[in-house]
Amino acid sequence: MAVGNRSAFSPMTELCYPHLGLFSYTLTEGEENTNSLTFIPEDATDRESIEGFNYLCNLGDTEGLLTLYFIADEPHHHPQPLSYLHKLKQQINTNKIHQKTEQISPDKKIGKTWIILGILPSFLPDSKIDCIAQEAAKIFDFDQQILLEPQKFMGATIYELWTPPDRWQDLNKKNNHLVIILYPDKEKLDTFDQFKQDWMRLFYYRNKILWAYNNSVQTPMREFLKKNLLPSDFTITQQLNPYQSGELEVDLDQLRQLLKKNYLIAKHYSQCLIFLEVQLQTLQTNFYNYQERRNSLVKKAQVLGTTDDNLLQSFIEIPAQRYQLQLEKDIAALSPGLRGRDTFINTIRGMVDIEQAKSDRNLNYIIAGASIGLATSGVTATILSTQVYQPENTTSERISVFQGFLRSLFPIFLIMGIGIIIWDRRRQARKDKR
């Protein structure tokens, strides 16, 4: 850009050698990818040469991608209008590798972080540095922009902007995170290459913390856990307190259906609790990793220039700790629900066993009655057999063998009929009570 045009811009809207990068993270489902750095061919736009690169990084179960574009260096480092950041952002949005990442299923996207780099104009007073950062942040049009207090990083001024997701419904759109690093000279800016692996991992741990907490507060799962924390009052009243006249009367089939239903609820409830515990473990692991990587980055940067000890510390001091404590409390509050459900299931199982025993006992009564009938019929047949026609006994009543057999069956049918009538009346009485 020609020097003569500088007067058209305010010093507060200019930046030397502007860079814009995007760190994005996606799950890879166990795929093993090696780190790679690919430079993007120069693109001449409005007499300005735009360069860039894609840096892919394997992070275990996650792939990290840094897509970065910048206005090509020039000998005198003339300030460029901040509006050039819009062009760089457009280059990132049309980048083929970035577009491929954007097409991945939303449930595999962990998060993203934008970064702006540049050199402060030499004629800009320190009191106006904040204005540069505020103007640069406007290209993203974040909701409720909160620019945190500036800090020092190798003598550069670093800002962090973050708008926490409001209702955690769409983390990919609502998790807005931006870091702005304004260097005093080209030499310090060139050290970014030495730190890109540190930034890649630091922002990964940060986004993974938010991703884990976001998973734990999804509405459908939370509604299920809340709804099934304890069996409903109606279920308890109707099934666990059906005592009337000192005798328990319930339907065995209904109990079995209730038992099956609660088995399924307990299974899903247990799966949800395990899922929450996994998210808590993920959050805790990345909370620790963030602290370790931040400490390592600070020590590394302090060798090269003035760097604050509490650099980017605010995230783990308040939000990350709050998310961890909240998730721990949620798990502690929801765990009794599973124990209560198990107790309820055991109670129903006991009732099923009692009713099954009663049903088996009634069946035994019928079988016993039939056995007695058979025995009685045997005795009857023996007695009647003495009265069967004998030629020498002409005065006795004559009874044929077939008649004796029919009379012997009468006690069997009588006792079985009585047993069936009693069983049917008891079953009908249970239905009437319900």
What is the spatial distance between Cα 41 and Cα 43, in angstroms, rounded to a whole number? 6
- For residue 61, give both structure tokens: 């179960």
- For residue 19, give both structure tokens: 């860079």
**So what's the pLDDT on residue 372?**
52
Helix (H/G/I), strand (E/B), else coil: 23 = strand
pTM of the model: 0.76
**So what's the pLDDT on residue 356?**
66
Q: Output 85-88 pairs: Cβ under 8 A, ≥24 positions apart.
A: 85/18, 85/20, 85/116, 85/136, 85/139, 86/139, 87/45, 87/50, 88/18, 88/19, 88/20, 88/50
What is the spatial distance between Cα 277 and Cα 279, in angstroms, rounded to a whole number? 5
State yes or no: pLDDT of 204 exceeds 90.
yes
Question: Which residue in 121, 195, 125, 114 sits closest to 154, CA to CA?
Answer: 195
Convert the pLDDT of each residue in 168-182 to its tens digit.
666 766 668 999 999
Residue of 391 and 294 predicted with greater confidence: 294
- For residue 431, give both structure tokens: 């239905």
Q: In this structure, are residues 282 and 212 in contact, taking their beta carbons and an 8 Å threshold? A: yes
- For residue 75, give both structure tokens: 């000998």
Using the Cα atoms of residue 6, residue 12, residue 18 and residue 21 in order, give the sign of their dihedral: negative
> Residue for token digits 């002409």?
394
Half-sphere exposure of 140 (CA within 13 A, CB side): 28
What is the spatial distance between Cα 24 and Cα 22, in angstroms, rounded to a whole number? 6
State yes or no: pLDDT of 396 exceeds 90.
no
Query: For the ranges 49-53, 83-87, 225-229, which has the lowest average pLDDT?
Result: 225-229
Helix (H/G/I), strand (E/B), else coil: 301 = helix
Query: For the ranges 92-101, 128-137, 387-396, which has the lowest average pLDDT?
Result: 387-396
What is the spatial distance between Cα 346 and Cα 350, in angstroms, rounded to a whole number? 6
Which of 29-33, 120-124, 172-176, 249-253 has the highest average model confidence (pLDDT)? 120-124
Predicted confidence band of residue 310 (pLDDT cuts 50, 70, 90): very high
